[in-house]
Amino acid sequence: MRRADPQLHQQRRLQILEGAERCFRSKGFHQASMQDIANESGVSMGLLYRYFANKEAIVVSFADSDSAELVSLLAEFAASSSPLELWPGILRRMLKEASEPDYVRITTEVFAEALRNPKLFESLVQSDDTVRRALIDAIKAQQSAGRMVAQLDPIVAADILMGMIDGVGLRACLVRQFKPRAIERHIQDLVRPWFVAPA
């Protein structure tokens, strides 16, 4: 009996996810079929179903991967002695997809589907809540270290930030001359008073 090759398994999984992303970008979430994803990924339907039961499972994998990356960055931020220096890079990463119209269009389709699909909805809520909790914990850690202002409510701050980022995504879809870097600079200016200036 052949033993599974973990490296090959990961390569195949990544190959399928990359193909699915291309498919979703070109056709949209609803129009892309599992057959389309298999064709775009260069795998058989049988192999595709060995990795993902449906399109929703692919979406959850994307969401979990994104949240894991952000949680890692926020853990680094929480432990940093120079959080104000790290913060611009973290915000840029959080805004990365939000400023891409194709990504926001797909995300909007997925959220609409989630409103009809309780299982998908719960999975997306969990991924979002993972990032939200990591952001709250990071703010609390920096407050305890005296590097962010004590009067700041960590929960409200996290919700404001995530709400602004979600809003940026919608504006990127609706405004033709949208300038994400200018928006990023203004968000930086709004958040800077949350930090205690280094002595």
Rounded CA separation 173/33 (Å): 24
Q: How far apart are CA 186 and CA 189, in angstroms?
A: 5
Secondary structure of residue 195 in the 3-state scheme: strand
Residue 189, class by beta-carbon neighbours within 10 Å (0-12 exposed, 13-18 middle, 19+ buried)? exposed
Handedness of CA 87, 163, 102, 56 (dihedral sign): positive
Mean per-residue pLDDT, 47-56: 95
pLDDT digits (tens, 9 = 90+) for 149-183: 999 999 999 999 999 988 887 777 777 777 777 88
Q: What angle do CA 99, 104, 106 make, to 5 degrees?
A: 150
**Residue pair 153/135 in contact by the 8 Å Cβ criterion:** no
- Read off the pLDDT of each residue in 11-35 and give the average, rounded to a whole number: 93
Phi-psi region of 168 (alpha: psi -120 to 50; beta: other; left: phi over 0): alpha
* Digit-coded pLDDT (tens) for 109-163: 898 899 999 999 999 999 999 999 999 999 999 999 999 999 999 999 999 999 9
Neighbours of 64 (CB within 10 A): 15
Cα distance between residue 111 and residue 97, in whole Å = 15
Give all domains of the chain, ordered by start, each with its CATH number: 1-52 (1.10.10.60), 54-194 (1.10.357.10)
Average pLDDT, stretch 52-66?
94
